[in-house]
Amino acid sequence: MIVDDRLFVEERLPAVAVAPPLAWQVLVIDDEPDVHQLTRMVLRGLRFDGLGIEVISGYTGKDACAIMAQTTGIAVLLLDVVMETDQAGLEVVRYIREELKNGFVRIILRTGQAGQAPEPEVISQYDINDYREKTELTSQKLITAVTTALRAYRDLRTIENLALNLKKERESLKRAQAVAHFGNWEWECNTNRIVFSDEMLAIGGLDRPSSSSELSIFLNCIHPEDRVRVGHVVSGMTVLGGERSDLECRIVRPNGEVRMVHLVCENHPGDAPGTCYVLGTVHDITSTREVEDRLKIVTSVFGGAMEEVHEHMRIATKVLENAIEGVVVTDAKGIIQSVNPAFVRITGHEAVEVIGNPLRSLHGTHTDQDLRDSLWKSLMEDGVWRGEVWNRKKNGEAYPQWETIIVIRDRAGQVANFISIFHDLTEIRASQKELHFKTYHDTLTGLPNRDLFVDRLNQAVVNAQRNNGKVLVIFLGLDYFKKINNSLGHKLGDQLLKDVSTRLRTFIREGDTLSRLAGDSFGFIMREIHNTKDAVFVAQKIGNALAEPFIIDEHKLFLTASTGITLFPDDGQEGSTLINNADMALNRAKVTGRDTCTFYKATMGEQANQRLKMEKNMRQGLERGEFVLFYQPKVSLVTGRVVGMEALVRWRQPDAGMVSPGEFIPVAEETGLILPLGEWILRTACQQNRIWRDAGFDRLRMAVNLSVRQFRQRDLFDRVRLILQETGLPPPLLELEITESMVMDNVESVIVTLTRLRSLGLFIAVDDFGTGYSSLSYLKRFPIHTLKIDQSFVRDLTLDSDDAAIINAIIAMAKSLKLNVVAEGVETEEQLNFLRLEGCDEMQGYFFGKPMSAEEFTDLLKSGRRLKDS
Return the residue of 39, 391, 486, 705 that touches Ca ion, per CB under 5 A: 705
Q: CB neighbours of 776 closer than 8 A, spacing ≥ 6?
A: 7, 8, 9, 10, 813, 817
Site for Ca ion contains 753 (CB under 5 A): no
| String marking each residue 762-781 x if it binds ligand C2E according to CB under 6 A | -----xx-------------
| Sheet of 52-58, strands arranged across | 52-58, 23-29, 74-80, 106-111, 130-133
CB contact burial 730-768 (16+ within 10 A = b; e otherwise)? ebebbbbbbbbbbbbeeeeebeebbeebbeeebbbbbbb
668 with 618: CB under 8 angstroms? yes
Residues 615-634 that bind ligand C2E (CB under 6 A): 632
Q: CB neighbours of 442 closer than 8 A, spacing ≥ 6?
A: 448, 449, 515, 516
The nearest distance, CB 757 to Ca ion, in angstroms, is 16
Q: Which stretch binds ligand C2E (CB under 6 A): 139-147, 566-574, 641-649, 725-733?
A: 641-649
Helices and strands, counts by H and E, the chain: 31, 31
Residue nearer to ligand C2E on the CB measure, 54 or 827: 827
The nearest distance, CB 666 to Ca ion, in angstroms, is 15
Query: Which value, to the nearest 10 degrees, does the dihedral of the CA atoms of residues 854, 859, 861, 867 take?
Result: -110
Site for ligand C2E contains 681 (CB under 6 A): yes
Return the residue of 347, 688, 705, 753 that touches ligand C2E, per CB under 6 A: 705
Q: Could you tell which of Ca ion, ligand C2E, none binds residue 647, using a CB distance below 5 to 8 A set by kind?
A: ligand C2E
**Per rule CB under 5 A, count of chain residues that contact Ca ion:** 5
Site for Ca ion contains 401 (CB under 5 A): no
Site for ligand C2E contains 649 (CB under 6 A): yes
The nearest distance, CB 767 to Ca ion, in angstroms, is 4
Q: CB neighbours of 99 closer than 8 A, spacing ≥ 6?
A: none
Return the residue of 767, 838, 841, 842 that touches Ca ion, per CB under 5 A: 767
How many other C-beta atoms lie within 10 A of the C-beta of residue 658?
A: 10
The nearest distance, CB 479 to ligand C2E, in angstroms, is 16
> How far is 369 from 467, CA to CA, in rounded Å?
35
How many other C-beta atoms lie within 10 A of the C-beta of residue 366?
A: 13
How many other C-beta atoms lie within 10 A of the C-beta of residue 155?
A: 10
Distance of CA 318 to the CA centre of its chain: 56
Residue nearer to ligand C2E on the CB measure, 124 or 660: 660
Site for ligand C2E contains 851 (CB under 6 A): yes
Site for Ca ion contains 39 (CB under 5 A): no
Determine phi and psi for 617, rounding to 5 degrees.
-60, -35
Q: Which stretch binds Ca ion (CB under 5 A): 61-69, 349-357, 762-770, 844-852?
A: 762-770
The nearest distance, CB 841 to ligand C2E, in angstroms, is 17
> How far is 194 from 216, CA to CA, in rounded Å?
9
Q: Which stretch binds Ca ion (CB under 5 A): 111-119, 635-643, 699-707, 828-836?
A: 699-707
Q: Which stretch binds Ca ion (CB under 5 A): 40-48, 463-471, 485-493, 820-828?
A: 820-828
> How far is 313 from 302, CA to CA, in rounded Å?
11
Three state DSSP letters for 687-699: HHHHHHHHCCCCC
**Per rule CB under 6 A, count of chain residues that contact ligand C2E:** 23
Site for ligand C2E contains 111 (CB under 6 A): no
The amino acid occupying position 689 is: N
Q: Could you tell which of ligand C2E, Ca ion, none binds residue 210, using a CB distance below 5 to 8 A set by kind?
A: none
Residue nearer to ligand C2E on the CB measure, 53 or 789: 789
Return the residue of 737, 740, 803, 842 that touches Ca ion, per CB under 5 A: 737
Q: CB neighbours of 421 closer than 8 A, spacing ≥ 6?
A: 288, 291, 292, 323, 325, 326, 327, 403, 404, 405, 406
Q: Give the nearest residue (CB) to ligand C2E.
A: 845
Site for ligand C2E contains 665 (CB under 6 A): yes
Site for Ca ion contains 768 (CB under 5 A): yes
Q: Which stretch binds Ca ion (CB under 5 A): 70-78, 132-140, 153-161, 703-711?
A: 703-711
Give the residue from 661, 553, 277, 264 showing the smallest Cα distance to 428.
264
Q: Which stretch binds ligand C2E (CB under 6 A): 50-58, 475-483, 563-571, 839-847?
A: 839-847
Site for ligand C2E contains 45 (CB under 6 A): no
CA angle, corner 326, sides to 323 and 327, nearest 5?
A: 90
Determine phi and psi for 45, rounding to 5 degrees.
-80, -10
| Total residues found in the chain within this entry | 870
> How far is 349 from 347, CA to CA, in rounded Å?
5
473 with 567: CB under 8 angstroms? yes
The nearest distance, CB 486 to ligand C2E, in angstroms, is 22
Q: Which stretch binds Ca ion (CB under 5 A): 340-348, 432-440, 456-464, 819-827?
A: 819-827
Q: Which stretch binds Ca ion (CB under 5 A): 318-326, 765-773, 809-817, 830-838?
A: 765-773
How many other C-beta atoms lie within 10 A of the C-beta of residue 161?
A: 11
Site for ligand C2E contains 407 (CB under 6 A): no
Query: Which value, to the nearest 10 degrees, does the dihedral of the CA atoms of residues 171, 177, 181, 182 take?
Result: -110
Q: Could you tell which of ligand C2E, Ca ion, none binds residue 660, using a CB distance below 5 to 8 A set by kind?
A: ligand C2E
Q: Which stretch binds ligand C2E (CB under 6 A): 522-530, 589-597, 748-756, 825-833?
A: 825-833
Positions touching ligand C2E (CB under 6 A) are 632, 647-649, 660-662, 665, 678, 681, 705, 707, 767-768, 791, 824-827, 844-846, 851
Positions touching Ca ion (CB under 5 A) are 705, 737, 767-768, 824
